[in-house]
Structure 1
Amino acid sequence: MPTISRRAMLQSLAGQALFAGAVRGQPSSTAAPRPLASDAITHDWPSFLGPSHNAVSTETHLTRELPPPLVWELEKGTGYTSPAIAGEDLVFFHRVGDQEVVENLHPETGESKWQFRYATAYRDRYGYNNGPRSSPVIDGTRTFVIGAEGRLHCLEVASGEVVWSRDLRAEYDARQDFFGIASTPLVHGNHLIVNVGASGGPCVVAFDTTTGTEAWRAGEWGPSYASPVPAVLHGRPRIIVFAGGESNPPNGGVLSLRPDDGTIDFAFPFRSRTYESVNASCPVVFDDKVFVSASYRAGGTLLRVLQDFTYEVLWTTQEFALHFNTAIHQDGYLYGYDGRNQGDASLACVDVSDGRVVWREAPQWTETFDQGGRERQAILSTARGSLLAVDGQFLALGELGHLLWLDLTPDGYQQVSRAWLAAAQESWTLPVLSRGLLYVMQNTRDILTGATPRLRCYDLRA
C-alpha cells in the first residue's frame, strides 16, 4: 500500500472531493448526551479562551475514548469563530451568503431559538474565507459580536433584539487589516474592551455595556488578531492588550491598562519587522509575568511587571514563535505550537525560568483512509494545532481536523488517544468545552466526504 505525504494527499483529494449543497440546514441530532457524573465540575464558556481567558478548563470526568459520540451538528457558513455558552444559550456567529448571522442555539440539541442577520460585503484579500473572525461574548442577559468589517452589536440573549450598535470602521476609521477585524472583545465590569486599532489612535476603546457609549480610549498602536485578556497584577486589576496588525512601518506590542479609565501603565514594543505580519497569539498572564509570542521571525518574550507597574524583560527567544495558537502555562512551563507554516510547526515545552526549550516534538502518524474505493495511507500531523488544558491533560485540535488527548509534562509528550473528526483544512478554531460537551468547528469542506463546514457537538462526559 503506497504511503504519500501530507501535501500530496491534500492536493490529490482536493480535486476529487464532493461538492456539497447550500449551507444552512436544521441541526441534525444524533443522540442525547450521557448524564453528567454527580461530582463532575463544569462551567459556562462565555468568551474566547473560556471562563479564565487562558484556554485552561476546570471541567472533570471527561472520557479519553476518541472519537467521542456525536450529539448534534449544524451546517454553518464561513468564519473562524467559536461559540459562547452560558446556561441554555449557545451564541454562534458566522456568515451565510452576503449576511453575517448571529444565532442562539440550545447547547445540548442545537435547536435554534433566534437569528439576527445583517448585510456584509467583506472579502478576504488573501483568499481565505469571508466570514467573521471575532467570537461572540456573553455577559449576563446580553451578547456582543464584532463582524469582519467592524460592525459591533449588543443583543439581548433571550430574544436577539438589538440593544445598541456601533460601526467601528465608520466612527473610528478602523482598518479592515490584513484579514478583517478579528480581535474578540473583553467584558470587564461594565465596560466592553475593544482593540479598535484606529489609524493614529485610539488603539483600545472601552464602551459602556449598557448604552454603548464610549467610556475611555487609549493608545496609538493599530489593530490585532490577539484578544485582550484580564489580569490581576500585584493585587490590582489590569487589561493586557497585544496590539499589532497592518501598519507601515509595522508597530505594536503589549499595553497594560487600568480598566476603570484606560490609563496606560506601560507600552512594550514587540512586533515583527515584516510588513505583512500580525500579532495573533493572545498574551498569557501568570503570577506577575506576561508572555507574548508571534511568528514572522518575532519569537517570544517574557516580561515581569514590577510593583510600580513598569516592566523588565526576563528573556527572549526565537525558538518559541507562536502563529495564532495561545500558549498554556502549567507549573512553570509553557506549552504551545511553534511555527508559522504547516511544514515547520512543532509542539514545544519551554521553561519559564530561562526561556529554554525543554523538548520539541512534531507529532506524526500514518493515517489510513479510502480514496475512490482504494485504501491509501498518508503521513499526517497536528501541524499548527491548538491546545486546551483540562482534566489533568490536554486536548489538541490539529489543523487538519484531528482531535487528540495528550499528556504533556516537562519530561515529554505522550499521545493518549486520537481520532480524525473531519478531513478539513483550516481547523484553527480552539474547541469549546462546557458541561462535558465539546464543540468543534469544521471551517472548510471535508476533502474525503465532501461534507460542508459545520459546528459539531460531541459528548465527552465519562
Structure 2
Amino acid sequence: MLNLNEDGLIFHAPPKSLAPGAITHDWRDFLGPTHNALSTESPLRETTKLVWERTKGEGYASPCVVAGKAIVFHRLGEQEVIECVAAETGKRLWKFAYVSVYSDRYGFNAGPRCQPISDGKNVYTYGVAGKLTCLSLATGQVVWKRDIAADYKVPQNYFGVGATPLLEGNLLIVVVGNIAGPSVVAFDKATGKQVWAAGKGWTAGYASPVPATIHGKRRLFAFLGGDSRPTEGGLLMIEALTGKVEATFPWRSRRYESVNASAPLVIGSQVFISECYGMSGTLLDIKPDGTLIPLWTNKRFGTHFMTAIHKNGYLYGIDGHGPQNAPLVCVELKTGKELWREEPEWVVSVGGKTLRLAPALASLILVDGRCLMLGEYGQLAWLDLNPKGYKELSRTSLFVARESWGTPALSHGLLTLCQNEVGVDGSPRRLLCYDLRATTTLGRKSTD
C-alpha cells in the first residue's frame, strides 16, 4: 500500500485504464445524471478492487463526482466540512468548513444528509441545519452562501434538512418547507438570489426534487411532507421556469412520525411516488392539461428513502423501513401487481464471527444490463432483475457497518461510496473508491 503522505488517506493501487470506447459520465446530481439511478456506464466488471480510502466524519451524504474530482460532505467535531479530492487517488485538492451546532433529536448522527451537487463550475451543498453554500469547484472559495432556515423561518425537521437540491438550467431548486409558504424556492445558481417561490401548507420531507419534460413542458416534481401538525404532504408538480404550481396530489401518512423521503420516479408521462408509513406506492398519469390521475395503488410496496428503479415495464425497490423485513420487490408498472418479493440472507464472516445480514435499506443502480445493489451493511451485489425473480451474479463484502444508506457515485468506471458508521472490525467511517473498469466488453460475465 502506498501512502500519499496525507493523514487519513490510504492509496492501495491505481485503477485500470478505461476500455477503448468506454461509455462514461460524471455523477453530478442526486441519483446520477438522469435523476433515477440509471447509469449508461459500460463496460464494467463484477469484481471490485479498492483504489483508495480516506477517513471521514459523521453524515449520510452520498459523494458527488465531477471533472475527475470527488466531493464529500461530512461533519468533523462542530463543523460541516466540504472536501474535494482527486477521484483516482483520493488526494485532497481543497477543503472548506463552517460551524454547525445541529443535534439530532432522534439520536442519529449530526452530519449532513444532502449530497453535494455540481454544474461543473461550482459545487452546491445544503447542510443539515439549512446552510446553503456555493463554492468554486476549482478552488473551494465561497461564491455565495445563505442560511435558508433563518431566511425562511423554517423550524428543525425530524432529522434535519435532507432533500438534496436540484440544478435546473440557471436555477438551483431547494425544498424549503415553510408550512406557511414557500414549500419550494428557485435561486439563481450564480448569485443565490431568489427567482421564484412555490407552494405552501406542506413542510419539507427528505425526497429530492426531480425534473422532466412532460407533454413538451419542463416540469419539476417535489415530494413533501415531514414534521407537521396536522400531518400533511404530497406531490407538487411545478412549472420549472416560472414556479407555477400546476398540480398537487396529497400523499402522506396520517401518522405523525413519518416522512416522505423517496424521490419521485418519472416514467414517460407517469410518475411513481411512495412512502412506507401507511400510504405506500401509487402511480399517477400526467394529463396534457396538467392534472394528475391515479392509475393504481399498491399498499405493500412502500419505499422508505431509497428510490425504486424502472426496467422494461417493471419497478424494483425495497419495501419497508427495515432494517428487518425490508424485502426486494418487483411490481408490474402497468397494473401495480406484485410479482415477487425476496429478502436475501447474506452470510458474512468478520472478526471471527458469522453474521447473517439482509440488504436492509439498500440502494439500487441500474447499469450495464444489470443492477448494482449496495446493502445497508456494506455488501455490494450484482443482480439480474427480471419479472420472474432475481439472480445474484456476484457479491463482495466491502465492510460490515450500519447505516450505509447513501447511493454510491458511479463515474468513469469508479464506484465511490461512504461507510457511515464504525465497522464491526473497528474500521473508521470512510470514503472508499473501487475500480469496476473492464478493459474489454468481455471483462464481465454477460447477463444480457
CA distance, structure 2, for counterparts of residue 87 and residue 114 of structure 1: 15
Cα deviation for residue 70 of structure 1 reads 0.5
Cα deviation for residue 133 of structure 1 reads 0.4
Partner SS state of residue 387, structure 1: strand
Partner SS state of residue 353, structure 1: coil
Q: 1:392 maps to what in 2? A: 369
On the 8 A contact 1:148/1:176 being kept in 2, the answer is no
CA distance, structure 2, for counterparts of residue 311 and residue 298 of structure 1: 17
Q: 1:405 maps to what in 2? A: 382
On the 8 A contact 2:63/2:417 being kept in 1, the answer is no
Q: 1:370 maps to what in 2? A: 351
Cα deviation for residue 84 of structure 1 reads 1.3
Cα deviation for residue 379 of structure 1 reads 2.3
1:379-403 Cα deviation digits (max 9, x unpaired): 2221221101101000101111100
Please state if 1:460 is matched with 2:433.
no
Cα deviation for residue 234 of structure 1 reads 0.8
Cα deviation for residue 369 of structure 1 reads 3.3
Q: 1:102 maps to what in 2? A: 82
Please state if 1:260 is matched with 2:241.
yes
TM-score between both structures, scaled by the size of structure 2: 0.95
CA distance, structure 2, for counterparts of residue 118 and residue 370 of structure 1: 38
Which of 40, 45, 51 aligns to 1:58? It is 40
Partner SS state of residue 151, structure 2: helix
1:186-241 Cα deviation digits (max 9, x unpaired): 01011100000013110000000111110000001110100000111112111000
Cα deviation for residue 370 of structure 1 reads 3.2
Partner SS state of residue 351, structure 2: strand
Q: 2:396 maps to what in 1? A: 419
On the 8 A contact 1:388/1:394 being kept in 2, the answer is yes
CA distance, structure 1, for counterparts of residue 348 and residue 93 of structure 2: 39
Q: 1:216 maps to what in 2? A: 196
Q: 2:270 maps to what in 1? A: 289
Correspondences of 1:315-330 after superposition (within 5 Å): 315-330=296-311
Q: 1:239 maps to what in 2? A: 220
Which of 75, 98, 104 aligns to 1:118? It is 98
On the 8 A contact 1:93/1:101 being kept in 2, the answer is yes
On the 8 A contact 2:63/2:418 being kept in 1, the answer is no
CA distance, structure 1, for counterparts of residue 315 and residue 242 of structure 2: 32
The Cα RMSD (Å) is: 1.0
TM-score between both structures, scaled by the size of structure 1: 0.92
1:240-283 Cα deviation digits (max 9, x unpaired): 00011111111111111011110011000000111010001111
CA distance, structure 1, for counterparts of residue 68 and residue 434 of structure 2: 16
Unaligned runs of 5+ in 1: 1-23
Q: 2:443 maps to what in 1? A: none
CA distance, structure 2, for counterparts of residue 154 and residue 112 of structure 1: 19
Q: 2:11 maps to what in 1? A: 29
Cα deviation for residue 303 of structure 1 reads 0.2
Which of 54, 63, 67 aligns to 1:83? It is 63
Partner SS state of residue 342, structure 1: coil
1:102-128 Cα deviation digits (max 9, x unpaired): 111110011111111100000111111
On the 8 A contact 2:105/2:159 being kept in 1, the answer is yes
CA distance, structure 2, for counterparts of residue 424 and residue 430 of structure 1: 15
Q: 1:444 maps to what in 2? A: 421
CA distance, structure 2, for counterparts of residue 89 and residue 399 of structure 1: 25
Cα deviation for residue 176 of structure 1 reads 1.7
Correspondences of 1:340-355 after superposition (within 5 Å): 340-355=321-336
Partner SS state of residue 404, structure 1: strand
Which of 225, 230, 242 aligns to 2:206? It is 225
Identity %: 49
1:125-183 Cα deviation digits (max 9, x unpaired): 11111000011110131111011110101111111111111111111012320001011
Partner SS state of residue 170, structure 1: helix
**Structure 2 residue identity aligned to 1:461:** R
Q: 2:409 maps to what in 1? A: 432
